[in-house]
Amino acid sequence: MEARSNFLACTGQFALCFHSGAEPLPCKLSKDGRSADCTCTVHSGTNFVLITAILNRDVYEKTVERCHADGSNCPPTNPTSFPAPVCGYLDDGKLIPAAQVISTYDPDVTNLIQDAIPPGTQAITNCNGAFAACMTAPCKLTKNGQAQCSCPVFWGNFQLVGPAAACELGGNLVPSASYNPKRDAALP
């Protein structure tokens, strides 16, 4: 189960794939269905890495050793005093060779969307199918200031946030999403 401590606070430049999936920020499924090429926005500032989604085993193990498996020893309220090791690997291809920027998460985006959802409208849409899991995916910067991220694709249950969430996008497009067991409609 995910807890707030599972998200490790970092600072710096990051790709945000939260809105990726459909045009104008498409996530195009590869021919073999194992990855998606996602267009993502680029930001600088505080961002968060889900400890269980670190795609580099050595960095994951260093981070768990320092922060504990649940991230509780690296509180997000003070990332400069208790830095998570993964934060030091997010630039210059240190986490994933040749990556110029890494896809992470900015919870302010979710808060803004949830604040804009009209009362009585469901904030979370449970889906089943293919989705791009972009957390800590490698990205290259583009000339127009965006990032092209190579995200692993998973097939199964996932959740989307927002009033216009679409589980299926048609063609070879997949939503950028995540799976949270606590929000799974199939679980009690």
What are phi and psi for residue 131, nearest 5 degrees? -150, 150
pLDDT tens-place string over residues 13-47: 999 998 899 999 999 999 999 999 999 999 999 89
pLDDT for the residue numbered 13: 94
pLDDT tens-place string over residues 84-103: 999 999 988 999 999 999 99
The token pair at 65 is 């050793």
pLDDT band at 179 (very low <50, low <70, confident <90, very high): confident
Task: Give the 3-state DSSP-derived string for 96-137, with helices as H, strands as E and coil as C.
Answer: CCCCCEEEEECHHHHHHHHHHCCCCCCCEEEEEEEEECCCCC
Instruction: Classify 21 as helix, strand or coil.
Output: strand
Q: Please, are residues 156 and 121 in contact by the beta-carbon 8 Å criterion? A: no
Query: Could you tell me which residues come within 8 angstroms of residue 127 by beta carbon, excluding any fewer than 6 positions away?
Result: 157, 158, 159, 160, 165, 167, 168, 175, 177
* Beta bridge partner(s), residue 36: 29, 151
| Pairwise pLDDT comparison (47 vs 161), residue with the higher score | 47
Q: Provide mean pLDDT across the span 76-87.
A: 73
Residue 37 DSSP label = E
Tell me the residue type at 182. K
Q: Please, are residues 72 and 60 in contact by the beta-carbon 8 Å criterion? A: no
Given a cut of 50, whether residue 115 has pLDDT beyond it is no
pLDDT band at 3 (very low <50, low <70, confident <90, very high): low
C-alpha–C-alpha distance, residues 124 and 182, integer Å:
12
pLDDT for the residue numbered 174: 95
Given a cut of 60, whether residue 78 has pLDDT beyond it is no
Question: What is the number of H-type helices and E-type strands within the chain?
Answer: 2, 7
Q: Residues of the chain with pLDDT > 70: what percent? A: 78
Alpha-helical (H) ranges within the chain are 57-67, 107-116
